Amino acid sequence: MSLPQTHTIEIKVRNTAAYTLNNVVATARSCSPQDLKIAAANVELKSDSRQVPGEIIDFVNFVVTDLFTLLHRSGLYNRQRAFWESIARAVKVTVHPVTQGFFRKEALPMYDVHFEDASGGTTLLAFVVQNHAQWREPKYATAYFKELLHRAQQLDKKRPVMKAIMVVAPKPFSEELFKHVEKMLGGPSIDPVSRYESVIQSPITVHIDLIEYGVAEGGEPADVDFAAHANEMAEAGENSQNGENGSEQLPKPQSYDLQEIDDPSIIGDETLLHPDDMKTHKGRFIFRLIQPDIEKARKK
């Protein structure tokens, strides 16, 4: 059985002359909500394979569009500045299947997703879990989270540029894992500032954000069968080696209201983007940031 393949998703700018995520970072205090829309629409994702799971494709898009925008509009970027700026600087995402076994590697329904900067350093590490029955066992999620921290520590030792870790899991998010992370942050009585900064100190000092996801339209994601998943990943690797998988451009999403595109009060020149490019990808999966919980803070 072949080892599971690692895949890449390139993060490109549609038009370098138009407003970009880096422009937002440079003008964080003066850019408008429409500037954020333009910058998000100016992002293009390209995958090297059709074997990248939909959860990961949709998650990467969520990070560089909706999450980036949410961090700015909520003001959370002030507390997690390094994390926020790293999103803008990411140029490539590398998807690594998580495996188990020593002599014979078996692919698990979970992935390490590395957001890399122009120099190849992993600045953001996301642990994306597909929906499967075993994940709902209380101690299972926490055990794999601890292994994730170990991998993050090893990565940071090689190149100390990591700013944040994201744990992305199907809803409802594991209550035991949530409480475990909360304890690492300081417990339920942690002060609001520290809760929004959401920094763990050991074994690596980074921001940590928890995200849950579900299906956008009707029903819940089907459970992933371990054996079937391992076989599928192995076959994908063999097909890739045989040249059966070509480069895939991710589908274009729904457009914004075209009446809002040409606005002279906007800092960025949105007219440099064709109306067909003024789009954000809306995939099958929807994501929600639950730690820090911005929505809960707004209700107080």
> What local confidence, expressed as pLDDT, does residue 165 receive?
98
299 pLDDT above the threshold of 70: no
With respect to residue 151, please indicate whether it lies within any of the assigned structural domains: yes
Looking at every residue in the chain, the average pLDDT score rounds to: 82
Which residue, 12, 11, 34, 30, is CA-closest to 269?
34
Residue 280 confidence (pLDDT): 52
State in Å, rounded, how far the first CA of the chain is from the last one.
53
User: Cβ(146)–Cβ(139) under 8 Å?
Assistant: no
How many structural domains is the chain composed of?
1
Please check whether residue 180 lies inside any domain of the structure. yes
- 226, 106 in Cβ contact below 8 A? yes
> Residue 300 pLDDT > 70, yes or no?
no
**Is the pLDDT score of 267 beyond 50?**
no
Q: Could you list the residue range(s) of the whole structural domain that residue 252 is in?
A: 7-299
49-63, 135-149, 216-230: lowest mean pLDDT where? 216-230
Distance CA 147, CA 161 (A): 19
Looking at the predicted structure, is the pLDDT value of residue 289 above 80?
A: yes
In the chain, helix, strand, coil percent, each to 5?
Answer: 40, 25, 35
> What is the C-alpha to C-alpha distance for residues 202 and 153, in angstroms, rounded to an integer?
9
Distance CA 47, CA 247 (A): 6
Q: How far apart are CA 287 and CA 215, in angstroms?
A: 9
Q: What is the mean pLDDT of residues 95-106?
A: 86
pLDDT in tens, 83-92: 999 999 999 9
Backbone φ, ψ for residue 125 (5° rounding): -125, 120
In a domain, 117, yes or no: yes
Indicate whether 254 pLDDT > 50.
Answer: no
Asked whether residue 210 is assigned to any structural domain, the reply reads yes
In a domain, 2, yes or no: no
Separation CA 300–CA 298 (nearest Å)? 6
Helices (H), 74-137: 81-89
Which residues neighbour 247 within 8 Å (Cβ) at sequence distance 6 or greater?
46, 47, 48, 49
Residue whose token pair is 């895939």: 248
Q: Which residues contact 194 (CB under 8 A, 6 or more apart)?
A: 185, 186
Q: 149 or 248: which carries more pLDDT confidence?
A: 149
Q: Over the Cα atoms of the chain, what is R_g?
A: 19
Q: What is residue 190's predicted lDDT score, i.e. its pLDDT?
A: 87
Over residues 256-282, mean pLDDT: 45
Distance from C-alpha of 108 to C-alpha of 97, rounded to nearest angstrom:
7
Residue predicted with more confidence, 242 or 47: 47
In a domain, 175, yes or no: yes
Residue 245 confidence class, pLDDT cut points 50, 70, 90:
very low
Residue 54 belongs to some domain of the structure: yes
What is the tens place of the pLDDT at every residue in 177-235? 999 999 999 988 889 899 999 999 999 999 999 999 999 865 454 444 443 443 444 44
DSSP state of 114: E
Question: Is position 55 within any domain?
Answer: yes
Banded model confidence at residue 261, pLDDT cuts 50, 70, 90:
very low
